[in-house]
């Protein structure tokens, strides 16, 4: 299914864009769309996935730089998704940030493979800052 993923991801990783590509993953459609709109207003290219499975598909085909990933979702939750992403060397450049309104801790998120944790709702400035910090760290 992903035979050309290596060449696709290598090409994107070498791309020198002025802003990151961000995948927003949340089963709450309103929250995901609102966050995507905020990012696009900041000239950040954003795509939205409402399920863990769709997030994995977009990670392979669209090659985001940063993923804002809700932890509590039905089916594949955020922990399942980050575990699968971290198991692929091709995604080493991708910063995955946990986003949750539940009682998870930043330590739990880091132990699972996330590079940062944002408690919902998270301010616009906090989210933008986290995205650029992790994008610059990896480029």
At 28-86, the pLDDT tens digits run 999 999 999 999 999 999 999 999 999 999 999 999 999 999 999 999 999 999 999 99
In a domain, 122, yes or no: yes
In a domain, 8, yes or no: no
What percentage of the chain reaches a pLDDT higher than 90? 71
CATH number of the domain encompassing residue 119: 3.40.50.2300
Number of domains in the chain: 1
In a domain, 13, yes or no: no
In a domain, 7, yes or no: no
Q: Please report the pLDDT score of residue 13 as a whole number.
A: 44
In a domain, 68, yes or no: yes
Joined together, the tokens standing for residue 128 give 């933008």
Domain of residue 95: give its range: 20-137
In a domain, 15, yes or no: no
In a domain, 11, yes or no: no
Q: Give the integer Cα–Cα distance in Å for 58 and 36.
A: 15
Give the sign of the dihedral formed by CA 36, CA 132, CA 75, CA 106.
negative
Whether 7 has a pLDDT exceeding 80, the answer reads no
């Amino acid at each position: 299914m992903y035979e050309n993923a290596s060449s696709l991801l290598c090409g994107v990783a070498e791309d020198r864009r002025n802003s990151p590509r961000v995948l927003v993953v949340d089963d709450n459609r309103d929250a995901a769309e609102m966050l995507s709109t905020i990012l696009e207003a900041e000239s950040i290219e954003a795509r939205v996935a409402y399920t863990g499975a769709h997030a994995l598909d977009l990670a392979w085909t669209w090659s985001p730089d940063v993923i804002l990933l809700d932890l509590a979702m039905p089916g594949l939750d955020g922990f399942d998704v980050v575990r699968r992403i971290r198991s692929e060397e091709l995604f080493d450049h991708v910063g995955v940030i946990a986003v949750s309104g539940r009682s998870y801790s930043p330590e739990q998120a880091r132990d699972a493979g996330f590079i940062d944790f944002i408690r919902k709702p998270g301010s616009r400035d906090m989210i933008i800052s986290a995205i650029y910090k992790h994008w610059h760290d990896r480029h």
